[in-house]
Structure 1
Amino acid sequence: MADFKNRVLTLFLFGIMLVFTLLALIVGNIIHHNVKENRISTYEKNLNLIAYVLRVDSGSIAVKGLLEQTADDLGVTVSILNPKGETVETSSKSEEAERFPVQVLKNKLSGTSIYGSTISGKDYYTIPVRETRAGGYVQLSVKAGADEDAERSLWLMMAAGFLVCFMIILIVSVKIIQRIVRPVDEATFTAKELARGNFKVRTYEYRGEDIGELNYSLNVLARNLEKMTKSHESQQDRLKTLIENMGSGLILIDSNGYINLVNRAFKEYFKEHADSWTGHLFYEVFPHAVIKEVVKETYLTEKNVRRNVLLPIHIERKHFSVDSVPILDVNGKLRGIVLVFHDITELKKLEQMRKDFVANVSHELKTPITSLKGFAETLLDGAGENPEYRRKFLSIILNESERLQSLIQDLLDLSKTEQGFNLDWQKLELSQLVQETMEMLEKKARDKDIQLSLDISGSTLMDGDAPRLKQIIINLISNSLTYTPAGGNVSIKVEEDKKNVLLSVTDTGIGISKEEIPRIFERFYRVDKARSRNSGGTGLGLAIVKHLVEAHHGTINVKSKVGKGSEFTIRFKKKQEEV
């Protein structure tokens, strides 16, 4: 913008200088002519005065004095010539008498009052002396160019005046141009800032001026762009937050196959350094061939592609539902692909668990139902007529019915615990519940010749649901009695630490191998299937225990050695007032 201002100022000053030059030429010419005319007029008046004195009084003293006075006043030499052109009297004593061409004077003065000429570097002005007998001429001589000093002085004065006027005009012009250019300069600066993306910039609005409309329009444009930018940034932030925090992995690939975006969920799924994938071709960085094939199919068909794939992720294998969606513009041209990875590993596990559950339930129900059916058919075939067989078979039917009832009850309990239920929270002593439960199981322990013992230490006050806690204790102790041979021991210990109430059930049973410990809380899982079925176990007891413990915000741990026995330890939170 400074260049524009300089150009305007230069053109303006050039115009002023041109005007001043023309004005100087005109005024100079006028001055030159006026000075010359004034000088000649002055010379003529003085020469006429001398001529008049000569006509009136031709006395040498008076004339001599007038000549000297005129010469001093005008700075010239005044001479009186006779009709022959010879100098009769002169005001200059240093100059020699000269003879002026008389014929020239006669010719030149024939119709004029004064004649001027330049001879030998001097200007001569001559008038005739008439109405006297002697006649002659009065002549004034001055060094040629003597009037240039006067003109030079006028020129200097005029130049000084022009210079002062030029400076004043220059200062005023700069101010005026600045006033004119400043709004344009500000508008240009604002436009440049808007072009750079700075939509917060504003310019002063000059009210009542034409440029003010431009500045106002720029401000409106800036405000609109700022609003649009904020709206766009807000949408971008929301979209980025959505993409980064969505539960599924996402990859954005452009039309050339380059990866533009990888979200956080994808990085967590695959545990890869996916940050370095951005800017690379998908087939260079994707470690799984099946994913490359999905992308290629989308490029070829430009249609949605969905695949369920099983991918090895380090030491794990995970199931994913992969959706590959083409991005098409308004003209239907492919602009890129979005890959979305849904982790369905847990869903697959649940599916498998459902299948296993159905199979296990079917198997568990099939055994007692088959027994019931078989012995009932045997009785109907005539065995019922024998009292001994009838009693034996009816006892078996009763036992299988009780086993079936126990299985159904455990299934109902497990279903409740898995679906969620409300506990009846109350303050209670865990040791008291353990004592009551042991009384219920003492007969079973005596029948198997197992020593059942209880050790209580410290305060065991806690919050919990008494019936559910009893169910936990019964299942744990019953499980230990089931897997402990005759002559063994089952020890129950209730104690406290700083924050928890601990319940431990230790037995000298068959133990659990290290590989089986993670699975003992699965439904229908048995360490010794034959022993469990013979004892009437359903394989659901420990699964129910785990869910009930977690419902009480507790934890359960297992330590075991094969052939040595097992120890189950449960930690419950103490009553808050006691912490």
Structure 2
Amino acid sequence: MKKQHSLRFILIVTATSLLAMAIFACALFTVLHYRSSEITREQQRLSNHAVYLREANLSDKELDTYAAAFSLRITIIKSDGTVSYDTYFNPKDLDNHLYRQEIKDAFAKGTGTAIRSSANAKQQLLYEALLTDSNEVIRVSRELSVIKNWTYEFLSDLALIFLALLLLSMLTIVFIINHTTKALEILTNTAIEYSKGNLSHHATVIGPTEYTILSETLNGMAVQLQQQFKQLQNTSFEFLAIFNAMEEGIVLIDSNLRILLSNNAFDRIFAHNTIAKETPLRQWVFSEAVQTSIEKAFTGQSATPCCLTVCPEGSERMYFQVCMAPVAEKKGKIISLVLTFTDITKTRRLELVRKDFVANVSHELKTPLTSIGGFAEILVNKQAEGKQAQQFLEIIFDNVKQMQLIVEDLLLLASLENDEKQITMQSCSVEHIIEESLRRCTYKASMKKMVIESKVQRKLYCMGNEGLLIQAMVNLILNAILYSEEGKTISIVVEEVENQILFKVQDQGCGIAEENLERIFERFYRVDKARSRKEGGTGLGLSIVKHIANIHNGNISVESHIGEGSTFTLSIPQ
């Protein structure tokens, strides 16, 4: 595993560079201090030579020998500044030295020191002057080139060392910067990929610890975001599934009444296809009441539900209750609405059926009650006697019997419509059902001199409630008797077709018009109302047959032609 670098390493390298510069500064200070100390020691040595020469009182020749032995320049200056002796130059060629700094100090203080360039030797010298008892100055000097050369040589070596350390520090810094920049480039590219939505991209950084931690944090964040996006996506799919599975039509519109979102139910109701976004709502919903409610809702007013009538092409008229509510607000202003279209067609139809039912029941009961009331009043007032009174009593009895039949049929319908009531199902003999049905209808048929023929395949059985099936067949046979003329024949055929038992009742009556075929199974619906009441029908027989067929998961159908009679077919699963 590669060694990871941290910012502390960068600080160490920086501190090393600063230390190198500090060492160089210290070395430079040491050199300068050494040079200063060396000059001080040299001054002391020259002073010792001057003292010796003052005490020794040597001749010029001896002075030359002494100067050569110690690499010195010896100069003797008189009180007037003229040179009486010089190791290197002829005294006559030298100018007056009275105003030289070291000479002035020697005459004034007894000693004098100076470091300066010699006008005659053309190089820098260290001078040490000493006043003698004879009021002359002995000056001893030596060149500083040796000290200076050594100092320059040391400084050159030190400069090379410093440059080498500086170069090494720069290379180290460049390496670290490049390494850090590469890590930053990787992290930058990773951030760019994340901004594009590519959360599967991962950053691998082996470098400064902080960048490694940052890359691991970014990778962990990307994984968490992927999981959250996946959860949001699943939630979105679930929402869309629920949204599109709802039976109510739902649409989201903006303040310009443009469709932003709609579910399958809404599309199916109004377009039979997918509705494109940004489509104006008016293109599909034409109701002024709906438009008015939408305008109120967008102004913040309470919009009451309204009713919408839709007439789909090739289908029956449908009714919808439209409710609306704001779903987004910005600074108190409603910017969108959700509209819910609830199908109330069945409710409307049931309401219509209920009204018709109440009206029909009222009418069916009112007629016999009126008759009963009228004849009863005559009898109470003793306005009829003998045979006439007996006749009135028979009319009252017939009307009471008619009312009793209506009530019994209504109770039977209520019982059949009760979903909580359990109907016992068992294997039933078809032959027995037909025999019992004929037994109950023979008297009615004989009164109209009618013949009932039956043809039943032997040993047929079906699964059902025998009592209800007999009731259904009785109703169909009585209906055939009711709407057939005297002396006609009614045919009953029972056969097995594709695991279905078909009970067919065919009459030779007046037939049913095509426009009445769809309604004959409704309660109290009569094709010939006068004949039905005259014969004592309740108008509920075929409706009872339809309910019995539904309970057995069967079906009731009719084929009829005017003047040719009708054929009712009751289909019951085997």
TM-score w.r.t. length of structure 2: 0.66
Question: In the alignment, what sits opposite 2:141?
Answer: none
Distance 2:444 2:182 in 1: 105
Distance 1:284 1:447 in 2: 64
Q: Is the contact made by 1:360 and 1:524 (CA closer than 8 Å) also made in structure 2?
A: yes
Question: In the alignment, what sits opposite 2:313?
Answer: 314
1:288-334 C-alpha deviation (Å, 9 max, x unpaired): 44443333333344543421132333354322211232334263222
> Which letter maps to 2:541?
G
> Which letter maps to 1:531?
R
Q: Is the contact made by 1:183 and 1:215 (CA closer than 8 Å) also made in structure 2?
A: no
Q: Is the contact made by 1:304 and 1:326 (CA closer than 8 Å) also made in structure 2?
A: no
> Which letter maps to 2:312?
I
Question: Does 2:394 match 1:395?
Answer: yes
Residue pairs, 1:552-563, within 5 angstroms: 552-563=552-563
Question: In the alignment, what sits opposite 1:486?
Answer: 486
Distance 1:456 1:557 in 2: 19
Question: In the alignment, what sits opposite 1:193?
Answer: 193
Tell me the CA shift for residue 239 of structure 1.
Answer: 2.3
1:226-254 C-alpha deviation (Å, 9 max, x unpaired): 23323322332232222211111111112
Change (3 A) 1:187 1:399: same
Aligned to 1:202, the other structure's residue is in SS state coil
Aligned to 1:449, the other structure's residue is in SS state coil
1:94-150 C-alpha deviation (Å, 9 max, x unpaired): xxxxxxxxxxxxxxxxx9xxxxxxxxxxxxxxxxxxxxxxxxxxxxxxxxxxxxxxx
Change (3 A) 1:322 1:464: same
Distance 1:395 1:248 in 2: 57
Tell me the CA shift for residue 194 of structure 1.
Answer: 1.7
Question: Does 2:542 match 1:567?
Answer: no
Distance 2:361 2:479 in 1: 20
Change (3 A) 1:564 1:267: same
Question: In the alignment, what sits opposite 1:254?
Answer: 254
Tell me the CA shift for residue 479 of structure 1.
Answer: 0.6
1:192-224 C-alpha deviation (Å, 9 max, x unpaired): 222112334433475981212211321332233
**Structure 1 stretch displaced more, 326-335 or 538-547:** 326-335
The gaps in structure 1 that reach 5 residues or longer are 1-110, 112-161, 575-579
Question: In the alignment, what sits opposite 2:377?
Answer: 377
Distance 1:304 1:235 in 2: 31
> Which letter maps to 1:401?
V
> Which letter maps to 1:467?
G
1:382-435 C-alpha deviation (Å, 9 max, x unpaired): 146x23123222211211111111100000111121233322111121122111
Distance 2:235 2:332 in 1: 25
Distance 1:362 1:397 in 2: 18
Tell me the CA shift for residue 181 of structure 1.
Answer: 4.5
> Which letter maps to 2:480?
S
The gaps in structure 2 that reach 5 residues or longer are 1-120, 122-163
> Which letter maps to 1:188?
T
> Which letter maps to 2:410?
L
Question: In the alignment, what sits opposite 1:281?
Answer: 280
> Which letter maps to 1:192?
I
Residue pairs, 1:157-196, within 5 angstroms: 180-196=180-196
Distance 1:524 1:248 in 2: 33
Question: In the alignment, what sits opposite 1:142?
Answer: none
Distance 2:271 2:257 in 1: 22
Aligned to 1:509, the other structure's residue is in SS state coil
Distance 2:178 2:460 in 1: 91
Question: In the alignment, what sits opposite 1:294?
Answer: 293
Q: CA RMSD in A?
A: 3.3
Distance 2:410 2:544 in 1: 9
Tell me the CA shift for residue 528 of structure 1.
Answer: 0.8
Residue pairs, 1:4-403, within 5 angstroms: 180-204=180-204, 209-276=209-276, 278-283=277-282, 286-301=285-300, 303-314=302-313, 316-329=316-329, 331-383=331-383, 386-403=385-402
Tell me the CA shift for residue 553 of structure 1.
Answer: 1.1
TM-score w.r.t. length of structure 1: 0.66
Q: Is the contact made by 1:424 and 1:464 (CA closer than 8 Å) also made in structure 2?
A: yes
Q: Is the contact made by 2:270 and 2:284 (CA closer than 8 Å) also made in structure 1?
A: no
> Which letter maps to 1:219?
N
Distance 2:479 2:529 in 1: 13
> Which letter maps to 2:550?
E
Distance 1:374 1:332 in 2: 71
Distance 1:396 1:547 in 2: 32
Question: In the alignment, what sits opposite 2:464?
Answer: 464
Q: Is the contact made by 2:490 and 2:508 (CA closer than 8 Å) also made in structure 1?
A: yes
Aligned to 2:203, the other structure's residue is in SS state coil
Distance 1:463 1:224 in 2: 61
Distance 1:536 1:432 in 2: 27
Q: Percent identity?
A: 34
